[in-house]
Chains A and B, each alone.
Chain A
Amino acid sequence: MGFTTVPTKIAGDVWTEAMWDTHVKDNFNTGTVVKIESVTLTVAAATITFAAIPQSWTHLYLVGFTRGDSAVAANQVLGNFNADTAANYDYQYLLGNAAAGNQGEFFAANQFQLANQPAGTAGANLFCSFDAEIGYYSGAANQKSVLSRWSNKVGTSSGNIEVGELGGHWRSSAAITSLTLKTNSGNFVAGSYVALYGRS
């Protein structure tokens, strides 16, 4: 069901059940984009998990603002669906850093990659931004794919800024019911923020 335009009412009109069901309930539940959950870390954490993701939406959309704490300039934001950490993920990346491009592929990984983020030795207060589309996450017939992009800055010297795209693929036809984010080393720092949205 798509969104139903909300009509004009005049003084004296009475709220009816039909008005509520069509214009409030159905529009919220099946006609718009809503926030399912967001997490802001107040202390460093190794993982951020969205559990019990409702199956009532068509696609998922994820937005992140994160930084790691391991003693390197940058590390990776990684993900697992449904707590599956077996070798069931494949991903392809494309990135630009200063005047250079780079690309590569990984098969049978234990997680997919979403982004690169600044880490412990990056400039203070720098965080990455990333987002991801997860198409038809609730389908139970076909494998899942994830499309993410990121922007990462670790300093103000040449080569300290990069932008990239990632295509991740999970070798499972199960509906996605949970998403766990982690780094390839260390924790996410306090102040990291990730939000998960449902696209009707």
Chain B
Amino acid sequence: MPFTAVPDRSAGYAVQLADWNYLKDNFNSGVWTKYASSLVSSPTTITFSSIPSTHSHLMIVAYVRGDTAATNTEFVLRYNGDTGSNYDSDRVYSNGGTRTHSMFLALSSQGVGIMPAGTATAGLFATIAVILPNYASTTAQKTMVHRFASKINTSANGMWVGVGGGGWRSTAAINQIEMRGNVGPNLAVGSHLSLYLMA
């Protein structure tokens, strides 16, 4: 149900059941809401479970860094605990003065952006945004779009920015998302991840 404009009331008006329904219906199915967020306080992967199939789309906003001993690693997603070779992704990105297009097929997780990791300059985190349209469908394979901005130091070629898409070879409704490093796989302390339900 889309958002319904809330009507004006006059002074002295006694709140009715219908007024509560404006609140209920608009909050539950008319606006974006936060399903969960997590601030990493010790290195770990993050999983948001029991995602309801009540909304149209999902959005992830992540401020992340990996803790593996490398300058960077890929921030990846897994849906519904699927570790099979069922993920594809495609991306165009720039790093310094170089522009690259890459495609990955049949991977065991969904890459959604490059993030700094353990040997990057301290205090650096990537910002990554992912949208998963029609995540609750049980008839269509899932697709996603992602964007990322990442920095590992202040030397030449120390930054990336990119945009891409991808898919999960499954028609199951997404009810769980694991977020992790492709290598490691833990996320570093200070990473902050949020999952939103889009009405």
Contact = CB atoms under 8 A, between A and B. Distances in A.
B33 interface: yes
Interface string B139-158: 00000000111110010111
A165 B34 CA distance: 25
Interface in B142-199: 147-151, 154, 156-163, 190, 192, 194, 196-197
Given A2-B35, A103-B94, A108-B154, A147 B194 contact: no
Contacts of B61: 58-59, 133, 135, 199
B154 A90 contact: yes
Contacts of A91: 159
B23 A169 contact: no
A7 B33 CA distance: 15
A3 B197 contact: yes
B108 interface: no
Contacts of B148: 147, 167
Contacts of A33: 31-34, 196
B20 interface: yes
A27 B33 contact: yes
B34 A2 contact: yes
Nearest to B161: A167
A6 B161 contact: no
30 contacts: A9-B24, A10-B17, A13-B20, A27-B27, A31-B34, A33-B32, A33-B34, A92-B94, A92-B160, A92-B161, A93-B94, A93-B161, A94-B92, A94-B163, A103-B99, A104-B94, A105-B158, A133-B147, A135-B61, A135-B62, A136-B125, A136-B192, A142-B125, A143-B125, A146-B127, A167-B148, A167-B150, A167-B159, A169-B159, A173-B123
Given A3-B33, A135-B127, A136-B190, 15 more contacts: A9-B21, A9-B24, A15-B20, A59-B61, A59-B63, A90-B151, A92-B94, A92-B95, A105-B159, A133-B127, A141-B123, A145-B149, A147-B128, A165-B149, A200-B37
Interface of A: 2-3, 5-11, 13, 15, 23-24, 27, 30-33, 58-59, 90-94, 101-105, 107-108, 133-136, 139, 141-143, 145-147, 149, 165-169, 171, 173, 199-200
